[in-house]
């Protein structure tokens, strides 16, 4: 019997029992719909997280510290294995920075300089963190994609780049059409100002830092009253900088630690007076008089350069933290999550397969005489089995196609609802679901496979029907 004849006969048999066939197919539709929506959520989360790391070049970034440290211990909150640098450990000074810059594969390396400041823009003030950034970082993401204005042109210019988060702390909302909406509850605030981004570019801001008042400290000791930690003699220094750019928060699940409240060119930041230590590595490290930096930032040209550069730096006696080391662990976690989510859809398909078996067995009882006639006119057991296999496969194909449509519709609706909750919080829209080609083809193949397996018993039972008894069946 030709396949075309088998397919036509299967469709006619399914059409004769439209309601039963529709309900059976609906079970497969729901199973595939659940499977697709669940797995697409897992792949969507994986895509967003991975893309966020790639967009911020986290897989090509290294942090060099003067201590041996296990990143897994840091992630779990266990810092007991940190080795405090001894006197023989070389400091992270300018000489080390130049050596690292000369390593093959290194694109840029610079000291990590980050300290708290008070910023004043007009009459508005906010406390934030300032981070020094060389102008060469403007060639790399995310700093190559400044939302408004530009990046630094030189390391010594008196400029500053503000973040979207800082503007909200200043209660300034960008009124540009492409600007993210303000968080819920801020719009009714009477102090909230709505300004276009071009009105901020070129504005001057004042940066206030705290420094130790040596005269006040000496005066306190001369009076015989040593200052307590809560009443240290401090004074403020002021530096005026010009706004050249505004960096908005990236729309991803990845929080970029490099995006401080404000960015300032490296030489300009070095000229801003401030207190000494601002990092745990400075506390754990050697005396400040040694002239070392708390940590260094290193960016390599490609992911494959990461391991050779890290090994070379570790041979110098320094510790290295690389987020790229966690890539394989991330993949394993996502694989487990996809398996757990897919298991829900598989359970639904197993239930649907029971419906297919029930439909086929019932069809055998109703078509016993028909099967006997087919055998009497020369139909073989193989032909009978193929008829029921094709019917089961047809249910699987139809269920898979409509199940894909159902899953896609559910994911679109869920995505709209999810974004309606996060947009008022000032977060850019995120596509939480991702349906790759392999998921589409895999869902169709799985639906057909489950249907065929469900049709094995009915097909074998139909092929064993005795034609003599079948012809006598009423």
Question: d(Cα 449, Cα 347) in Å, to the nearest integer?
Answer: 14
Token digits of residue 110: 């610079």
Query: Where in the chain are the domains?
Result: 3-53+330-472, 67-110+279-317, 113-274
The DSSP bridge pattern shows strands 159-163 and 296-300 to be unpaired
Instruction: Report the chain's mean pLDDT, rounded to a whole number.
Output: 76
∠79-84-86 over CA atoms, to 5°?
Answer: 170
Question: d(Cα 385, Cα 255) in Å, to the nearest integer?
Answer: 58
Of 103, 134, 143, 51, residue with least CA distance to 305: 103
pLDDT at 258: 46
The predicted model gives 435-454 an average pLDDT of 86
What is the DSSP secondary structure assignment for residue 286, as one 8-state letter?
S
Those residues with Cβ within 8 angstroms of residue 253's Cβ, 6 or more apart along the chain or in another chain = 45, 48, 49, 52, 430
The DSSP bridge pattern shows strands 319-321 and 204-212 to be unpaired
pLDDT above 70 coverage of the chain, percent: 72
Question: d(Cα 254, Cα 48) in Å, to the nearest integer?
Answer: 8
Specify the 3-state DSSP secondary structure of 299. Answer: strand
DSSP secondary structure string for all residues of 152-163: -SSTT--EEEEE
Q: Is the pLDDT score of 23 beyond 60?
A: yes
Question: d(Cα 30, Cα 27) in Å, to the nearest integer?
Answer: 5
pLDDT at 428: 66
Q: Is the pLDDT score of 446 beyond 80?
A: yes
- Cβ atoms 58, 323 nearer than 8 A: yes
pLDDT at 279: 45
∠403-404-407 over CA atoms, to 5°?
Answer: 85
Element (H, E) at 233: none
Which of 6-20, 80-94, 411-425, 435-449 has the lowest average pLDDT? 80-94
Token digits of residue 218: 């000496």
Q: Is the pLDDT score of 394 beyond 90?
A: no
pLDDT at 54: 66
Which of 130-139, 154-163, 389-398 has the lowest average pLDDT? 389-398
Strands (E) located in 41-189 = 61-65, 106-111, 114-121, 124-133, 148-149, 159-163, 172-174
Helices (H) and strands (E) counted in the chain, each on its own, are 15, 13
Total residues found in the chain within this entry:
474
- Cβ atoms 33, 410 nearer than 8 A: yes
- Quick: pLDDT tens for 212-238: 655 555 555 555 555 554 555 667 788
pTM of the model: 0.58
pLDDT at 469: 63
Question: d(Cα 306, Cα 105) in Å, to the nearest integer?
Answer: 8
Best mean pLDDT range from 190-199, 319-328, 416-425, 430-439: 430-439
pLDDT at 204: 92
Query: What backbone phi and psi angles, to 5 degrees, belong to 455?
Result: -90, -5
pLDDT at 213: 59
């Amino acid at each position: 019997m030709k396949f075309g004849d088998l397919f036509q006969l299967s469709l006619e048999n399914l059409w004769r029992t439209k309601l039963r066939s529709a309900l059976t197919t609906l079970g497969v539709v729901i199973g595939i719909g659940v499977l697709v929506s669940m797995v697409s959520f897992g792949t969507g989360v994986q895509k967003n997280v991975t893309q966020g790391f790639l967009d911020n070049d986290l897989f090509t970034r290294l942090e060099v510290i003067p201590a041996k440290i296990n990143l897994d211990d840091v992630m779990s909150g266990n810092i007991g294995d940190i080795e405090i640098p001894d006197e023989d450990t070389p400091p992270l000074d300018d000489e080390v920075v130049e050596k690292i810059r000369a390593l093959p594969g290194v694109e840029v390396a610079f000291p990590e300089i980050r300290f708290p400041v008070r910023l004043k823009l007009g009459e508005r003030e906010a406390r934030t963190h300032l981070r020094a950034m060389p102008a060469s970082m403007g060639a790399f993401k995310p700093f190559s994609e400044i939302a408004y204005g530009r990046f630094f042109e030189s390391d010594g210019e008196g400029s500053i780049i503000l973040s979207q988060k800082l503007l909200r702390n200043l209660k300034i909302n960008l009124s540009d059409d492409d600007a993210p909406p303000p968080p819920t509850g801020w719009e009714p605030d009477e102090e909230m100002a709505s300004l276009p981004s071009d009105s901020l570019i070129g504005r001057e801001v004042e940066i206030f830092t705290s420094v130790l008042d040596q005269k006040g400290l000496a005066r306190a000791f001369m009076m015989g009253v040593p200052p307590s930690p809560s009443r240290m003699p401090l004074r403020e220094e002021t530096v005026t900088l010009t706004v050249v750019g505004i960096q908005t928060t990236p729309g991803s699940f990845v929080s970029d630690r490099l995006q401080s409240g404000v960015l300032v060119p490296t030489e300009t930041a070095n000229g801003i007076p401030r207190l000494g230590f601002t990092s745990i590595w400075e506390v754990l490290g050697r005396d400040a008089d040694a002239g070392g930096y708390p940590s260094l930032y290193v960016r390599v040209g490609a992911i494959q350069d990461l391991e050779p550069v890290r090994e070379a730096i570790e041979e110098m006696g320094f510790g290295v933290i690389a987020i790229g080391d966690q890539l394989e662990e991330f993949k394993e976690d996502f694989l487990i999550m996809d398996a757990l989510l897919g298991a829900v859809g598989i359970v639904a398909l197993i239930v649907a397969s029971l419906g297919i078996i029930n439909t086929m067995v019932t069809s055998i009882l109703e078509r016993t005489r028909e099967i006997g006639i087919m055998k009497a006119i020369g139909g073989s057991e193989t032909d009978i089995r193929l008829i029921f296999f094709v019917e089961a496969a047809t249910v699987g194909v139809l269920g898979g196609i409509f199940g894909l449509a159902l899953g896609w519709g559910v994911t679109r609706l869920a995505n709209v609802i999810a974004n309606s909750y996060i947009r008022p919080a000032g977060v850019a829209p995120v596509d939480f679901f991702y349906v790759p080609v392999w998921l589409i083809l895999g869902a169709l193949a799985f639906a057909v496979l489950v249907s065929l397996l469900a049709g094995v018993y009915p097909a074998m039972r139909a092929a064993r029907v005795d034609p003599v008894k079948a012809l006598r069946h009423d």
